[in-house]
Amino acid sequence: MSPEVISLAAQVGIALQAQRWQLATAESCTGGLVCAAVTEIAGSSGWFDRGFVTYSNEAKVEMLGVSPLTLHAHGAVSEETVREMLAGALAKSVAHVLLAISGIAGPAGGTAEKPVGTVCFGWQRRGYPAQCLTLLLPGDRVAVREAAVLRALQGVLDLGLPAGG
């Protein structure tokens, strides 16, 4: 894990800990890399609640309650699916802040509409609407997954967490 990822995870921890808030993650293409990054930080048990690694569509449905209709209509890599991943993580955790990621890291699996490197992100503070973003991240599988982790963590900070207690 890069020093940049660890540094950003530490910043997320400081922001969440200042509020006594918890983070939960719902990951697909990153396969738990966000969880790994945040748990690299000593004391993360004070601000990290849980992570859902839902790589298969079946896992998204069973663990997070993503609708099979959503998956059929929009695909796993869609903002619609990421919104439902957030809702499921919100319902099945005590977290105040949630993030979700679904994408195509490659080298295979891309289409003309959703090429390799397409990643959908979602962030939500409990009690607030979800924010979603789709990006086309460059590079090979390792690069796409690392960039996705960085963007996911930055998105938590971009939620504008209030400073102080």
Q: What is the pLDDT of residues 17-73, one digit of tens each?
A: 999 999 999 999 999 999 999 999 999 999 999 999 999 999 999 999 999 999 999
What is the reported pTM?
0.95
Domain spans in the chain, listed from the N-terminal domain onward: 3-158
CB neighbour list of residue 122: distance below 8 Å, 6 or more residues apart: 79, 82, 83, 85, 86, 98, 99, 100, 101, 130, 131, 132, 133
> Are the CB atoms for 134 and 74 separated by under 8 Å?
no
Q: Which CATH number fits domain 3-158: 3.40.50.1360, 3.90.950.20, 3.40.50.620, 3.30.420.40?
A: 3.90.950.20
Please list the alpha-helical segments (H only) found in the chain. 3-19, 33-39, 57-64, 68-74, 79-91, 141-158
pLDDT in tens, 111-156: 999 999 999 999 999 999 999 999 999 999 999 999 999 999 999 9
